Amino acid sequence: MSNVCLFGSGALYVRQMARNTDKRYIVIGADDMGRSSSVNMAVAEAHDNGAVTSASLMAGGEAFEEAAKIALNRGHLSVGLHVTLCDGKSVLKPSHIPDLVDQGNNFEKNPAKAWLRYMRTGILPQIEAEVEAQFNRLEQAGIHITHVDSHHHLHMHPFIFGLLCSQASKRGISWIRLLNESLSVVMSLRSFSRGLMPFIERVVFGALNAYNLKIARKYDMNVACHSLGLAWTGNINEKSFLDLLDCAEGPVEEIFTHPDISTEAGRRELEALTSAKVRSKLTSLGAELVGYRDLQKEGVSLHPARERM
């Protein structure tokens, strides 16, 4: 049996091997693990005493070793690679990727400038080498990688998305994030504290999704019906998180967050993730709160449809 999840003007289909094909699943993720100790502590708290089921780890983060230990001590936490190609440090030495980083291993800080730099096809071999090194570092730390996404969503770049899918599929990783919040979701959340940016992001990433869905299909990668959280970046609190849960109506949904005990915004997100109201809401929705490892164990897959439906 299969369930269908609409996605923009096309569709996704769900192939569920679990006995109950009408189950709904919600993955709640925390990005930037490994970036700092303050982020690590927030992710650990949000998992131990809150709703977080999945975390995305930065291989070049200054607190990577601590993050790896935290992850390995939490068998129910699904851990993915948070590919970093801007606003962070590389794993490879500058001599190996001279067009990507400075002598201090620092990528371009501004995501938009990094995006434009990576339009040069001549540096793609360097990007591929760094991405491979980031995958390897997590695996060498003993982490079973369950999914892939990226810092500042740079994996959505049309020259980079395919590289990630290729690397992931070779390693048996089958879930990748697409930024697929619908326009109706952006409108209903009324995230006007960011001005027009949510609408601009929706147009840009919506166009990229059409291309990247084909790449995901080529590599047999799974994508959630929707990955929610982009429009509310930096503005997630208990109320907005409850609103996001109301928008998670598909068979497999992801909500991604950025908890951090060292920033006001990060603390608000941590409070939301550990909120009793959020827990109660999740129970009332009747959806199963899972990580990507759980989806794999239950035989749940969500692939781009081969034909528009």
Q: Residue 7 — pLDDT band, cuts 50, 70, 90? A: low
- Read off the pLDDT of each residue in 87-111 and give the average, rounded to a whole number: 98
**Nearest of 230, 226, 236 to residue 287 by alpha carbon:** 226
Q: Residue 54 — pLDDT band, cuts 50, 70, 90? A: very high
Cβ–Cβ < 8 Å for 82, 33: yes
Task: With a cut of 70, say whether residue 189 has pLDDT above it.
Answer: no
Q: Which of 37-46, 48-57, 212-221 has the lowest mean pLDDT?
A: 212-221
For residue 175, how many other CB atoms are within 10 A of its CB? 28
Task: With a cut of 70, say whether residue 58 has pLDDT above it.
Answer: yes
Question: What is the C-alpha separation between 141 and 152, in angstroms, rounded?
Answer: 24
Q: Residue 9 — pLDDT band, cuts 50, 70, 90? A: very low
Strand ranges inside the chain, DSSP E = 2-7, 10-16, 25-33, 54-57, 78-83, 145-150, 226-228, 252-257, 288-289, 300-304
pLDDT digits 0-9 by tens, 153-177:
999 999 999 999 999 999 999 999 9
Mean pLDDT, all residues of the chain: 89
- Read off the pLDDT of each residue in 46-69 and give the average, rounded to a whole number: 98
Sign of CA dihedral 173, 69, 30, 290: positive
**Nearest of 220, 133, 211, 131 to residue 169 by alpha carbon:** 220
Strand pairing report for 10-16 and 300-304: antiparallel
Q: Which residues pair with 301 in a beta bridge?
A: 15
Task: With a cut of 90, say whether residue 10 has pLDDT above it.
Answer: no
Cβ–Cβ < 8 Å for 118, 160: yes
Q: Which of 33-42, 76-85, 137-146, 248-257 has the lowest mean pLDDT?
A: 248-257
pLDDT recorded at residue 12: 53
Q: Which of 95-99, 208-212, 214-218, 224-228 has the highest mean pLDDT?
A: 95-99
Sign of CA dihedral 39, 41, 43, 46: negative
Buried b (16+ CB within 10 A) or exposed e, 42-66: bbbbbbeebbbbbbbbbbbbebbeb
Question: What is the C-alpha separation between 274 and 48, in angstroms, rounded?
Answer: 9
204 vs 1, higher pLDDT: 204
Q: Pinpoint the alpha helices (H) of 49-156.
A: 64-72, 111-117, 124-140
Class of domain 2-304 (CATH, top level): alpha beta
Give the DSSP letter string of 147-194: EEEEGGGGGGSTTTHHHHHHHHHHTT--BB------HHHHHHHT-GGG
33 vs 226, higher pLDDT: 33
Q: What percent of the chain has pLDDT over 70?
A: 87
pLDDT digits 0-9 by tens, 261-296:
999 999 999 999 999 999 999 999 999 999 999 999
Task: With a cut of 70, say whether residue 304 has pLDDT above it.
Answer: no
Q: Residue 6 — pLDDT band, cuts 50, 70, 90? A: low
Task: With a cut of 70, say whether residue 109 has pLDDT above it.
Answer: yes
Question: What is the C-alpha separation between 28 and 287, in angstroms, rounded?
Answer: 12
The identity of residue 142, as a single letter, is G
Q: Which of 138-147, 254-263, 284-293, 300-309 has the lowest mean pLDDT?
A: 300-309
Question: What is the C-alpha separation between 78 and 55, in angstroms, rounded?
Answer: 6
For residue 93, how many other CB atoms are within 10 A of its CB? 12
pLDDT recorded at residue 91: 98
